[in-house]
Amino acid sequence: MSVQRFRGATSLGFLDCTVVDYANGTFEAFYVTGSVSIVDCLWHSCGPLRSGQLLVSGCDVFGNSGWAPFLEDSAVMSDSLFQDNFAYDGGGVIYCGVVSATDCSFIGNYVSGIDDYFGGAICASAVTLSNCYFRENRSGGGGAISCGSLVAEDCTFEANESFAQKYGPYGGGAIMASNVDLVGCVFFNNRDVSTSGPGLAPGGAVSSEQGV
């Protein structure tokens, strides 16, 4: 189904919905100036959603694409699966100011390698995570997450990959961040496979300016 862009609402809510094939090329399929809530929904093969504040809870979000599937000022996500989403720019799932995620899984999300864009799952200014799982996410830097500051507790990062091809290397097979605070997190088989730039990339798992 081909659907034209949804635009102009100040708020929008989805409850127990299936939203499929709602696209507008790489541009926003949904543009909402205020808040959007998506609860207990299947969200598949849609174009980008842009809003001020986003709530996602109890959802399966997969196969979406665009500049980033979600373009937000702030977002709260819980009890959801984000799988096989793609971004032409940073943030294979979400490009955002502030992100909080609890009990979520991010699997197989990625961004374009043309210009070494960052954050295979999340690209944000600040990220707070609790009990989240990241597997096989890929980007030019920060295979799973690229952000300014990250606080993560009881999270697992498995087989994420950074692959700078043009400028880098930036490193951070799992995470690239300025400030990182990790508690009870597990990392295995994360790596940098960059082919650009001289020397080795910093951090097969984590690349951080301020250390961990």
- pLDDT tens for the chain, 212 residues: list them: 334 456 666 788 999 999 988 775 556 788 888 899 999 999 998 888 889 999 999 999 999 988 788 988 999 999 999 999 998 878 889 999 999 999 999 999 988 755 557 788 999 999 999 999 999 999 877 889 999 999 999 999 999 988 765 555 456 788 988 899 999 999 999 987 765 554 444 556 776 655 55
Query: 3-state secondary structure string, the chain?
Result: CCCCCEECCCEEEEECCEEECCCECECCCEECCCEEEEECCEEECCCCEEEEEEEEECCEEECCEECCCEEEEEEEEECCEEECCEECCCCCCEEEEEEEEECCEEECCEECCCCCCECCCEEEEEEEEECCEEECCEECECCCEEEEEEEEECCEEECCEECCCCCCCCCCCCEEEEEEEEECCEEECCEECCCCCCCCCCCCCEEECCCC
Burial of 14 (0-12, 13-18, 19+ CB in 10 A): middle
Does pTM top 0.85 for this prediction? yes
Give the per-residue pLDDT at 116. 57
